[in-house]
Amino acid sequence: MTKNPPLPTATPEAGEARILAPTVPLLNREQAILEFNRRVLAQAQREDVPLLERLRYICIVSSNLDEFFEVRFADMLDAARDPAGLVSNRDVARVGRAAHELIDQQYAIFNDQVMPALRAQGIVVHNHADRNEPQRRWVARFFEREVRPLLVPVGLDPAHPFPQVANKSLHFIARLSGKDAFGRDNRIAIVKVPRVLPRVIKLPDSVSGGQQIFVLLTSVIRAHLEELFTGRKVEAFSQFRVTRDSDLTVDEEEVGNLRHALRTGLTTRHFGRAVRLEVVNTCPQELSDFLLEQFDLPEAALYRVNGPVNLVRLNELIDLTDASELRFAPHEPAWPQRRLPRGKSMFENIAKSDVLLHHPFESFEPVVELLRQAVHDPDVLAIKQTVYRTGSKSELMDLLIEAARRGKEVMVVVELKARFDEEANINWAERLEAVGAQVVYGIVGLKTHAKLLLVTRRENGRLKRYAHLSTGNYNPKTARLYTDLGCLTADPDMTSDVDTVFRQLASLSRFKPPKRLLLAPFNMHQRMMEMLGQVAAAARAGYAARVVLKINALTDTEMIRGLVEAGQAGAKIDLIVRGACMLPPGLPGQTDNILVRSVVGRFLEHSRVSYFRWGDGDDQEALYLSSADWMSRNMFRRIEVAWPVLDPKLRQRVIDEALQPYLHDSRDAWQLGPDGQSRRISSSGVSAQQALMRRYGSD
């Protein structure tokens, strides 16, 4: 194809004024996060989704909202306290109202749609009033045998002050009649629900009458609550749960040992500042007011729920239910047999050409197999890997430990500050150090979020490197649930760049730009902005101009400005944003050329793809895969990588699998409006995820 004439430069000459696009009114980030959870919750209403999976989506929303309050809303409250901050009390109130509305909707779907549908399938959750006499006797025996020995009711008085209540732990509060055994008028008591007990108990077949009957632990305790207070009546009671600020922060400049400091911080995380109080909707005002006072919370922080407090634990019901037809059909990721024949040397096959892996449609097992072969290969001298979220159990970590035991040079960059994975990562770091692996924790003030694996092997008297780069974590479990892209390569420039990144993380030497990789916080943001400028320049000159992004979040204001400018210049821009998006599309005269959609399906969309076109020539397009979202924290406060897909066939495959299907999805896709509200495109038609499952023969 004939190349286009040279494009106008995207960067103004010295002294030339740059015309900036008008500032668009950005959408609120926290409300955008809640809007994403509204899209997830909508899955629970879909009749084409298996019934137990609909319940699982309700549980997922509860888990997401817990983290939202623990981190995002807590940060928002802190920002509102800063007189110079950009967050007002009005903003906090607006987000709080949106959260209340979402939670009310969640419980309405749970009570009015999902639970009745389960009941129609013979899957029932019985409270005390529903249970017949044989069932009550069974529950009473279970209570005496398994529950009562672990309960310690605390009557409040000056010698027994209000107890320490850990983050997200479930309790009962009760108002009692009469006086205690010592004649004192202590009317309030607290009972902690033990975390070691299952929250969902399946009744045996002998008392279930052919149904699958479950009881909740809270229902068991509630039925026998009065037995804990001999000689007194329970006049009123409620379950309650408090959510606390759980963002673990350590001043890295002030501590001598980050691992030890974080280990200490983990012990106090569960008792941070309270930000939300949940009670059942029948909780008397007197008791809810008492709890709000104890936790120093305003009325707006009280969430009255019509059902079990903490729906996350209903995942146990899904696991205990015997009804495979009410779950998604089993999905087995495909092994890329043509590119990586089983039983053959991974090194020989990767040396022939780069291998692209698309999870979960393709298996993550080749990555594990690469490391497995590296551990047992006497010609492999060194292994380097980053660890962000790998889980408390991990074959990959076990293999790295075995490699160190075998005398190989093992370097692991462990991100100790991976939120809510700190303890698991600290444990892995200690185990790795114990066998002689070199463990580093990245760079002070920056999280290491890049996903990299590098193997150095001696071949024919020379050293050769093999690398794996990924958009997702080294976690085989989530690799079956999240969509991600990974690349196995022996390309000398790419593997040299990966080695440069590891050296940078270990030695803290001055930044040396890699040949092909982009590395945040050094040059990734700048290069992405340059690419947007190049697309805008092409559009102004009348050439084909296109941007397609598939990311998890878009909140960086400068990158939003770059997208707006490119769109106003005439470029066609499609954004596939799973979660929070602060760019309002479709604003007349400002963002007309920008469409934003989100896809919510069986798998969590997690891959990050950036595609740019600035002309009709084959050499006038670029496609990057990355560990980074388009957020300021990713671009400036994390170690992230982006790498170009240079092989035209692999680049086209990414377009055909990770972009085009999502742009044409009419079943799982939502379109974002300029008001920040999402609207489902259709309830039928093509699903990108299902099409990819069929392509790989696993639907």
Q: Catalytic site residues?
A: 449
Q: Is residue 473 packed enough to be buried (19+ CB in 10 Å), middle (13-18) or exposed (0-12)?
A: buried
Owner of token pair 């996060």: 33
Among 46, 31, 18, 12, which residue's Cα sits nearest to residue 581?
31
What is the residue whose two structure tokens read 């998890």?
A: 552
- Report CA 278 to chain centroid distance, whole Å: 23
Residue 334 is classified by DSSP as B
CA distances from 433 to 54, 429, 451 (A): 43, 6, 21
**Locus of tokens 């007349």:** 588
Q: Please tell me whether residue 391 adopts helix, strand or coil conformation.
A: coil
- Percent of the chain as helix, strand, coil, to the nearest 5: 40, 20, 40
- For residue 683, give Cα distances in angstroms to 108, 112, 155, 561, 579: 21, 21, 54, 33, 20
* The two three-digit tokens of residue 626, written as one number: 């990355």
Q: Which has the closest alpha carbon to 566: 603, 539, 592, 605? A: 539
Give the start-end residues of each E strand in 147-265.
154-155, 170-176, 188-192, 200-202, 212-216, 234-244
C-alpha–C-alpha distance, residues 596 and 587, integer Å: 12
Torsion of Cα atoms, 101 then 103 then 105 then 111, to 10°: -150
User: 434 forms bridges with which residues in the sheet?
Assistant: none
Pairing verdict, β 572-577 and 594-599? parallel
Question: How far, in Å, CA of 356 to CA of 667, rounded?
Answer: 27
Angle at 70 between CA 67 and CA 74, to 5 degrees: 130
Q: How many helices (H) and strands (E) does the chain have?
A: 21, 27
Report d(CA 639, CA 511) in Å as an integer. 12
| Residues 6+ positions from 45 with CB-CB distance below 8 Å | 54, 109, 113
Q: What's phi and psi for 456, nearest 5 deg? A: -110, 125
DSSP state of 193: P
DSSP conformation letters of 551-599: ES-B--HHHHHHHHHHHHTT-EEEEEESS-B---TT-TTTSTTEEEEEE
Cβ neighbours around 222 below 10 Å, total = 19
Phi and psi angles of residue 272, each rounded to the nearest 5 degrees, phi first = -70, -175
Strand, helix or coil at 194?
coil
Contact 482, 360 (CB under 8 A): yes
User: E strand or H helix at 75, and its extent?
Assistant: helix 74-81
Strand extents, DSSP E, 437-534: 438-440, 447-448, 451-459, 462-470, 482-489, 518-520
Burial letters for 20-33: b for 16+ Cβ neighbours within 10 Å, e otherwise?
A: ebeebebbbbbbbb
Give the closest residue to 552 by CA, choosing from 575, 585, 520: 575
- CA–CA distance, 104 with 99 (Å, rounded to integer): 9
Q: Tokens at residue 615, please?
A: 């002309």
